[in-house]
């Protein structure tokens, strides 16, 4: 009996260390939250700001926003930025990711007209964050292109790479001494496919043949020019790091083995077009997509591929322009061949180019948005895939967020954060994936593009019916603050004492008891087997 007690206690002790270790993040792991200029700032025509494509889009078109709203005032963060810094500090964020409005800094998009009031505004925000011990992570472009540039073709004009470089230089000159982490462009695939293919996002162009692919190449060139500029002029002095925030969609085959090859091609079409040119050893488009698009284009009667080729010089120029991999993850899809008469639009529900349709997987759950069906496992699968595809690079999760409602006791959002962070921890520990941080979207409720204000993502509720736009912490804010404070998913009971025990949520204490009970029984069984083996 003494032997059993000794072995059991020893085994339980080891087991507890393993269990709790798997819920702890490395000491250097960083937690943040995010926002973007158009979605929260408001002040759309104040202090010399120029008109952006989203200003024009919501002001000149009807029926494009679900609740017919706009971002003219939004969360009024242009005026309430001190309150935003305060709540970021209240959360104990390691970093706050926010974007700078190109149209606010350079009203016409060009360097001959620089808005000094805007430069001071963002400088004040950066200083205040640093004073509170919060690192500013700056996104240079989050979709609010100056309309003057769109009038010249926007992201389908190859000159935009030079225009973006000029804009980046203004930001580096003014902020590189204090900003050490930069994201050049947010979700380039959304810019190209929702803005120029589907036409559901600003600038609202629906040209499905060439525009999204011209955009695809041009955003890569623009990103690379900003990156090379920093390396050439600022890296030695300030030693910052630069990447961009790539929207990733995990894609499962619907039917095995039939759809395995199609799923691989789908991931290359979704993720590879915006990753392979930067993070692969050879650069350029993914070979499978390059070949597929050429054959598809020729079959359509084109004399060349709709996907513009890179010269060898361009490949070398873009390759290696990411100091880490920034990824925004929200959802997962299953892919299958399109049936006769079916036609989907990338990356909403299918792809004519791939002859494929995308379906929501059966294990998904839902918040307020069906499009962003919740599938936490996809985040872990994507991180694993990206490491296997591009090697031992560092990953920063630049967005991950739950589309909820106006409820303050947002239990589902807490579960969402917990389950996604568990996926991150699992691949970090079992596959040695180097994830350096996690960004929750979003710090506060904001204008959610064509969804208007119908879905809420914020850790803080914003009352958009009150002219003062007060912020109020949700229960998830308290939970996230505790995760940050402990650097662990083993948060104290204080963070969960207001959460009812239900099928959709179990407190860490009860979860631990369940795990401990089941594994203790397994250990006892092993001990008994061990004793019988010794007796034999």
CATH assignment of the domain containing 231: 3.20.20.80
pLDDT value of residue 531: 42
The residue among 451, 473, 489 that closes a domain is: 489
User: Is residue 514 predicted with pLDDT exceeding 60?
Assistant: no
**Residue range 503-518: mean pLDDT, rounded:** 35
For residues 138 and 147, what is the distance between their CA atoms, to the nearest angstrom? 22
The answer on 212 and 149 residing in a single domain is yes
pLDDT value of residue 495: 65
The answer on 14 and 53 residing in a single domain is no
The answer on 5 and 132 residing in a single domain is no
User: Could you report the per-residue pLDDT of 277-286, keeping only the tens digit for each?
Assistant: 999 999 999 9
Q: How confident is the model at residue 497 (pLDDT cuts 50, 70, 90)?
A: low
187 an active-site residue? yes
User: Is residue 355 predicted with pLDDT exceeding 70?
Assistant: yes
The answer on 76 and 37 residing in a single domain is yes
* pTM for this prediction: 0.90
The answer on 41 and 13 residing in a single domain is no
The residue among 474, 489, 504 that closes a domain is: 489
Q: In angstroms, what is the C-alpha Rg of the chain?
A: 24
- Which residues are bridge partners to 242 per DSSP? 182
- List phi, psi (to 5°) of 184: -70, -50
Catalytic residue among 135, 399, 448, 508: 399
**Residue range 57-75: mean pLDDT, rounded:** 98
Please enumerate in sequence order all residues whose Cβ is within 8 A of that of 143, keeping only pairs 6 or more positions apart, or say none.
36, 38, 53, 54, 186, 190, 191, 195, 201, 202
pLDDT value of residue 14: 41
Inter-residue contact 296 to 346 (CB < 8 Å): no
The answer on 109 and 135 residing in a single domain is yes
233 an active-site residue? no
DSSP states along 389-439: HH-S-EEEEEE----B-S-SS-HHHHHHHHHHHHHHHHHHHHS--EEEEEE
The answer on 501 and 448 residing in a single domain is no
The answer on 246 and 119 residing in a single domain is yes
The answer on 385 and 534 residing in a single domain is no
The answer on 8 and 40 residing in a single domain is no
Catalytic residue among 165, 169, 187, 448: 187
State which residues form the domain around 298: 24-489
Query: Number of structural domains, the chain?
Result: 2
The residue with tokens 């158009």 is: 38
The answer on 356 and 497 residing in a single domain is no
CA nearest 234: which of 314, 174, 164? 174
pLDDT value of residue 273: 98
Peptide bond into 19 cis (omega under 30): no
The answer on 34 and 6 residing in a single domain is no
**Residue range 113-125: mean pLDDT, rounded:** 99
């Amino acid at each position: 009996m003494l032997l059993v007690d000794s072995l059991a206690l020893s085994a339980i002790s080891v087991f507890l260390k393993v269990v709790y270790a798997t819920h702890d993040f490395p000491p250097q792991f960083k937690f943040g939250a995010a926002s973007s200029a158009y979605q929260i700032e408001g002040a759309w025509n104040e202090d010399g700001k120029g008109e952006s494509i989203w200003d024009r889009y919501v002001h000149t078109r009807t029926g494009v926003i679900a609740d017919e709203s706009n971002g003219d005032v939004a969360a009024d963060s242009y005026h309430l930025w001190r309150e935003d810094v305060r709540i970021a500090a209240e959360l104990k964020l390691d970093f706050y990711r926010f974007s700078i409005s190109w149209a606010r800094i350079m009203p016409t998009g060009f360097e001959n007209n620089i808005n000094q009031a805007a430069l001071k505004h963002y400088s004040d925000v950066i200083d205040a964050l640093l004073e509170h011990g919060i690192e500013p992570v700056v996104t240079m472009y989050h979709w609010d292109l100056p309309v003057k540039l769109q009038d010249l073709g926007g992201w389908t004009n190859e000159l935009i790479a030079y225009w973006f470089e000029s804009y980046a230089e203004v930001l580096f000159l003014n902020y590189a001494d204090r900003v050490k982490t930069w994201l050049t462009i947010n979700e380039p695939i959304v810019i190209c496919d929702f803005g120029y293919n589907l036409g559901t996002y600003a600038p609202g162009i629906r040209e499905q043949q060439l525009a999204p692919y011209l955009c695809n190449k041009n955003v890569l060139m623009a990103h690379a020019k900003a990156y090379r500029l920093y390396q050439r002029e600022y890296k030695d002095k300030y030693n910052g790091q630069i990447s961009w925030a790539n929207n990733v969609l995990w894609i499962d085959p619907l039917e095995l083995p039939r759809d395995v090859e199609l799923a691989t091609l789908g991931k290359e079409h979704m993720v590879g077009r915006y990753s392979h040119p930067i993070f692969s050893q050879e650069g350029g488009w993914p070979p499978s997509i390059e070949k597929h698009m050429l054959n598809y284009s020729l079959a359509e009667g084109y004399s060349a591929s709709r996907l513009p080729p890179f010269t060898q010089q361009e490949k070398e120029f873009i390759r290696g322009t990411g100091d880490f991999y920034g990824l925004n993850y929200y959802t997962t899809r299953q892919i299958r061949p399109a049936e006769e008469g079916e036609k989907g639009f990338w990356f909403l529900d299918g792809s004519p180019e791939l002859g494929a349709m995308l379906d929501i997987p059966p294990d998904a759950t839902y918040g307020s948005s069906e499009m962003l069906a919740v599938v936490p496992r996809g985040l872990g699968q994507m991180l694993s895939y990206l490491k296997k595809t591009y090697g031992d690079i560092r990953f920063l999760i630049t967005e991950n967020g739950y589309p909820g409602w106006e409820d303050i006791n947002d239990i589902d959002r807490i579960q969402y954060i917990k389950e996604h962070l568990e996926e991150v921890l699992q691949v970090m520990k079992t596959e040695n994936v180097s994830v350096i941080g996690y960004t929750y979207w979003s710090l506060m409720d904001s204008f959610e593009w064509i969804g208007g204000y119908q879905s809420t993502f914020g850790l803080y509720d914003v009352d958009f019916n009150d002219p003062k736009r007060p912020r109020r912490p949700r229960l998830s804010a308290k939970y996230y603050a505790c995760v940050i404070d402990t650097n662990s998913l083993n948060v104290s009971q204080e963070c969960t004492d207001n959460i009812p025990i239900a099928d959709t949520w179990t407190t860490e204490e009860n979860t631990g008891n369940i795990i401990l009970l089941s594994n203790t029984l397994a250990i006892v069984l092993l001990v008994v087997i061990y004793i019988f083996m010794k007796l034999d």
